[in-house]
Structure formats: structure tokens, C-alpha cells
């Protein structure tokens, strides 16, 4: 029997890069003229994988998010994996927004990806959900390349990463 080649499909953010981007954004906000005297702040919770933005009003919140987003893009963090919370009123006439970072493929998205792979009827390709990632196996490496190209061409709402390739 031919040995199976496989790869894993996963998603996630490098939390150290997010931390660096938050620190850079905080420094830029401290230097910017339009934020002088305002209560703008960005805090990062590594254990909860979330970023909290605090600003005076909706206009400053949008500017604060734009600064953070630019820093995240520059650091190579996929912004598709940001789950933006609603802008809510907070204490001292400020507004707050909590942004959650997607770590691992959500189960409903994983099921949709596996179903799409099976519906496409790739030759002898098997896809299985393992925790928060998907393992794709096939005796043919060319079929695995086809599956990767297919998954890259679809919109899943998250940034897919392909790794742990075994040939």
C-alpha cells in the first residue's frame, strides 16, 4: 500500500507579533496630535487573546482602530482573524471595543471546509477534523496541491495556514 501524504489546515495569530503591534500603536497614539489630551488606550490580554480599545468617541475609536490595524498588517498578523466586537459606552464618557483574535478553526467553519473538500470529489482525498485544525490525507501529492489551491480560492472568513506537510 502506498504511504499517505498529508498536511494540516489551521489558523491563528502569532501573539508576540500582536503584542509588538499593540506596543507600536500605543507609542504612535501617544505621539499623534489628534489624540493629545484624549483618553485613548489599547490593551492586550494574551491569555484571553483579545485586544481592548478605549477612546473618547466613535470618531477617535475609528482612528484608533485604523492605527492598530496598520500596525498589525505591518507585523504580518492576518486581520481576517480579528473578530470585532461592538462599540459600547464605557465609564467616564468613553467608548470601548473588544477585538477577539481567532486561534484555531471554529468547529462550524471546519465542518464546512471538510464538506467542501468531500463535495469537490478529489481523488482518494480524506479530510478529518482534529481539534481546532483539519488533517488532509491522500496517496497523491498532486491531489494535495489541488486541495490547497481549492481552499486558497475560497472565502472562509478566516486566514487559512497550511503546515505540517508530510510526503
Question: Is the same domain home to 111 and 152?
Answer: yes
Last residue in a domain, options 50, 78, 101: 101
Residue 122 confidence (pLDDT): 87
Q: Verify that 88 and 111 share a domain, yes or no.
A: no
Q: What distance in Å separates the CA atoms of residue 118 and residue 133, rounded to the nearest whole number? A: 16
CATH number for the domain spanning 89: value is: 3.30.70.990
Shared-domain flag, residues 21 and 96? yes
One domain, residues 109 and 136? yes
Prediction pTM value: 0.82
Taking a C-beta distance cutoff of 8 angstroms, is the pair 42, 63 a contact?
no
Q: Are residues 75 and 21 in the same domain?
A: yes
Residues 6+ apart with CB under 8 A from 126: 136, 137, 138
Mean of all residue pLDDT scores within the chain:
90
Long-range pairs for 35-44 at CB < 8 Å and ≥24 separation?
35/60, 35/63, 35/64, 39/92, 39/94, 40/64, 42/68, 44/18, 44/19
Range of the domain at 91: 15-101
Local mean pLDDT, 10-residue blocks, the chain (167 residues):
81 90 93 88 91 92 93 91 89 90 90 92 90 91 91 90 85
82 shares its domain with 143: no
Do 97 and 19 share a structural domain? yes
Number of domains, the chain: 2
Among 71, 101, 131, which residue terminates a domain? 101
Whether residue 57 is found in the same domain as residue 109 = no
Please tell me the predicted confidence (pLDDT) of residue 2. 56
Q: Quick one: pLDDT at residue 1?
A: 45
Amino acid at each position: 500500500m502506498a504511504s499517505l501524504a498529508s498536511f494540516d489546515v489551521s489558523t491563528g495569530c502569532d501573539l508576540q507579533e500582536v503584542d509588538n503591534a499593540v506596543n507600536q500603536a500605543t507609542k504612535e497614539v501617544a505621539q499623534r496630535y489628534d489624540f493629545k489630551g484624549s483618553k485613548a488606550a489599547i490593551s492586550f490580554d494574551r491569555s484571553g487573546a483579545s485586544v481592548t480599545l478605549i477612546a473618547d468617541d466613535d470618531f477617535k475609536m475609528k482612528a484608533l482602530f485604523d492605527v492598530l490595524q496598520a500596525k498589525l498588517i505591518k507585523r504580518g498578523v492576518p486581520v481576517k482573524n480579528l473578530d470585532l466586537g461592538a462599540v459600547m459606552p464605557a465609564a467616564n464618557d468613553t467608548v470601548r471595543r473588544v477585538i477577539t483574535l481567532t486561534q484555531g478553526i471554529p468547529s462550524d467553519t471546519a465542518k464546512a471546509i471538510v464538506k467542501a473538500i468531500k463535495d469537490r470529489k478529489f481523488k482518494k482525498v480524506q479530510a478529518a477534523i482534529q481539534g481546532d485544525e483539519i488533517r488532509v490525507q491522500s496517496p497523491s501529492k498532486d491531489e494535495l496541491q489541488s486541495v490547497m489551491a481549492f481552499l486558497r480560492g475560497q472565502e472562509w472568513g478566516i486566514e487559512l495556514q497550511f503546515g505540517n506537510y508530510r510526503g
